Amino acid sequence: MKTSHFATLLFYLLTLSVPCYTDTNIQTSLQCSEADESAMEMAFQTNLRNLFDSLVSNAPLQQGFYKTRTGKKSGRVYGLIQCRGDVSADHCSNCTKNSITVALEKCPKSKEVLVWFRWCFLRYSDSDFFGVMEQTSIVLTNETDFDDPSVVSKGLDLMNGLTFSVQNQPLVFQTAELDVGPSGKRYGMVQCNRDISRSDCVKCLESQLGAFRMMVGTKRGWEIYGSSCFMWYHNYRFYFNISTIASAGVMRPSSHKGTAIGLIIAVVAFLMVL
């Protein structure tokens, strides 16, 4: 069963007992297609290994994004890796390797797999999905951590602004900071996969913010991970120092959830809009 052929609404709870205000790379979600014995055939497995090798080698060298295909006709595999815009080349490489490990362990007989980590997103399939904007998304938010009502609309405006301005960024990645006075600051970040068009990037982010607005609008922190775009919002600075990373020559910016999701993070939904 291909990802594009089904819609899933999944509710589950992720509990973290100790708040942490540094960004750490954890797996946030996983999606596997139905088991297919042909995925174990030599041709597909060889192409898959070649794909993984190529992604690991090239993603850190291509500013955190790389897509490729391996094989001919039968057994061909398409894949991409998108690292978050603020992570280093080393973090991007390690996240790619971790994602591959998860895919092989959890989805050994699947021909279409999506793995989300905080710092990167891995996807591969036996069908060509390059350049196609999809709206499969998962949202994580702390269901008990409500924000000051006077800040809510300002925070949503911040993210809405990023939704439209990110299309003008060379790496379709952008961060922003909002000073809300006595309530401190709020930090936002958005990113799109670089294989989709700039206009589809905006559509993807608009769709995410619109679909989950009621879930996240009143919260102090939340994150949305999709197949084509991503959004993060917190009351602490969760992303790395982009300018320092760039000047150090490691990569430039890079991917997923700010760390400090303490207490209870309710992963509220996994939703595909057909």
For residue 94, the model assigns a pLDDT of: 96
Q: Phi and psi of 128, rounded to 5°?
A: -75, 115
Residues 169 and 234 in one domain: yes
pLDDT tens-digit profile of 118-133? 999 999 999 999 999 9
Residues 111 and 143 in one domain: no
For residue 190, the model assigns a pLDDT of: 98
Residues 108 and 146 in one domain: no
Read out DSSP for the chain? --GGG------EEEE-SS---S----EEEEEEPPP-GGGGSHHHHHHHHHHHHHHHHHGGGTTTEEEEEESSSTT-EEEEEEE-BTS-HHHHHHHHHHHHHHHHHH-TT-SSEEEEESSEEEEEESS--TT-----EEEEE-TT-BPPHHHHHHHHHHHHHHHHHGGGSTTSEEEEEEE-GGG-EEEEEEEE-TTS-HHHHHHHHHHHHHHHHHHHTTBS-EEEEESSEEEEEESS--S--HHHHHHTTS-S-B-S--S---SEEEEEEEE---
For residue 240, the model assigns a pLDDT of: 84
Is the pLDDT assigned to residue 7 strictly greater than 70?
Answer: no
Residues 59 and 119 in one domain: yes
Q: Provide the domain count of the chain.
A: 2
The larger pLDDT score, comparing residue 75 to residue 171, is at 171
Residues 119 and 176 in one domain: no
Q: Do the domain assignments include residue 72?
A: yes
Q: Do the domain assignments include residue 82?
A: yes
Is the pLDDT assigned to residue 254 strictly greater than 60?
Answer: no
Q: Do the domain assignments include residue 110?
A: yes
Q: Which of 48-52, 211-215, 256-260 has the least mean pLDDT?
A: 256-260
For residue 242, the model assigns a pLDDT of: 57
The model's confidence at residue 15, banded by pLDDT at 50, 70 and 90, is: very low
For residue 22, the model assigns a pLDDT of: 57
For residue 67, the model assigns a pLDDT of: 98
Is the pLDDT assigned to residue 2 strictly greater than 60?
Answer: no
- pTM for the structure as a whole: 0.83
Mean pLDDT of all residues in the chain? 83
Is the pLDDT assigned to residue 238 strictly greater than 50?
Answer: yes
Residues 142 and 218 in one domain: yes
Residues 147 and 184 in one domain: yes
Q: Do the domain assignments include residue 8?
A: no
Q: What CATH number did the domain enclosing 229 receive? A: 3.30.430.20
**Residue where a domain terminates, one of 93, 125, 157:** 125
177: domain range? 138-242
Is the pLDDT assigned to residue 267 strictly greater than 60?
Answer: no
Q: Do the domain assignments include residue 160?
A: yes
pLDDT tens-digit profile of 50-93? 999 999 999 999 999 999 999 987 789 999 999 999 999 999 99
